[in-house]
Amino acid sequence: MRTSEVVAGRRILVVLHSGDDVIASLAEACRRHGVAQAAVTTFSGAFRRARLIAASEPPLDPEVPLPDSVEVAYTEGVGSGTVTADEAGGHAVHIHVALGAKDRSGRAVAGHLLAGEAHYVIEIVLEEILAPRLVRRPHPDSHGIAILDVDDAAESRR
């Protein structure tokens, strides 16, 4: 386990409209408002389509990260996540969602959002994180997946 006190900054409201790209819009909202990193504290709305890291069938080994993705259409749901700086100077948006499919009586799918298009509206609140500096790096227990961490060098300069 790793803990760190967070220094919060501004709250930014983002309202996505029909056809908006979810990941690109969140990165653009951060760029537009000068937000380097944030927590996604509120995320709810309707997707026309969404692609998630998930599985159609139960995995053979539940310890190993899922290698596949699924695409779902016309869903509504909730999520949360983080936005961090990426190595190219942009933003890495990491969102997990739980979505219920409208045409399946709300049957749910959940996972890491790879791509999504807003349907009616998606409402998001970003909570700017001023400190510590957040990074994503592989962890020995993560099977090579980069996970959220605190930049030790930046933390020791505080």
Query: pLDDT tens for residues 108-120?
Result: 999 999 999 999 9
- Rounded CA gap, 93 and 83, in Å? 5
Strands (E), the chain: 7-17, 38-53, 69-85, 91-101, 108-131, 134-138, 146-150
CB atoms within 10 A of CB 89: 7
| Interval 81-98 mean pLDDT | 94
DSSP string, 7-46: EEEEEEEEEEETT-BHHHHHHHHHHHHT-S-EEEEEEEEE
CATH number of 8-57+65-156: 3.30.1330.80
| Interval 124-152 mean pLDDT | 90
Q: Does residue 138 contact residue 146 with C-beta atoms inside 8 Å?
A: yes
pLDDT value at residue 154: 55
Strands 69-85 and 108-131: unpaired
- Rounded CA gap, 134 and 55, in Å? 29
Domain spans of the chain, in order of start: 8-57+65-156
Query: pLDDT tens for residues 30-87?
Result: 999 999 999 999 999 999 999 999 877 788 888 888 878 999 999 999 999 999 998 8
Mean pLDDT of the chain, nearest integer: 91
Q: What is the pTM of this model?
A: 0.89
Is a pLDDT exceeding 60 seen at residue 155? no
